[in-house]
Amino acid sequence: MTFAIDPGSTESGVVILDPGYMPRFAGILPNHEVVATADGELDGDKADVVIEMVAHYGTGMPAGRDVFDTCVWIGRFIESFARMGFMVRTLPRSTVKLNLCNSVKAKDQNIIQALVDRFDRRHGK
């Protein structure tokens, strides 16, 4: 099992993937519920936790409070999951974009469409 987190400053996107990488659970949860959800959903399963990591984009734009709050939550998630015995790793957003869209220049809408194309069972996949 893989528990993947797209962290945010107050809530995060989470997905649990089975060993065949099909979603077993997906949703947006308040950050304070993410660890408890994983603990309940992964009950006894051997699982990896993958967290998308904040990265510097070199644009010269200042980072706002949301970015720093997200970084705090990433640290809290890493510490909590490591204490629970899960293998935890971070993944830069550029790697996510490259894997799903074959381009590091992909925008959020491109990523969403790639996920729908790959996992939406209504499309017969």
Does a structural domain hold residue 11?
Answer: yes
Residue 59 lies in a domain: yes
Looking at the structure of the chain, the number of domains it has is 1
Mean per-residue pLDDT, 55-80: 86
Of the spans 69-78, 99-108, 109-118, which averages the highest pLDDT? 69-78
121 located within any domain: no
Is the residue at 107 inside a domain? no
68, 86, 39, 26 alpha-carbon torsion, rounded to 10°: 70
- Residue 125: the pLDDT is 46
Residue environment code for 2-22, b if the CB has 16+ CB neighbours within 10 A, otherwise e: bbbbbbbbebbebbbbeeeee
Please tell me the least confidently modeled range out of 19-23, 50-54, 93-97, 108-112: 19-23
pTM for the full predicted model = 0.85
Torsion of CA 19, 44, 49, 102, to 10 degrees: 10
CATH number for the domain spanning 16: value is 3.30.420.10
Its domain, for residue 72, covers 2-92
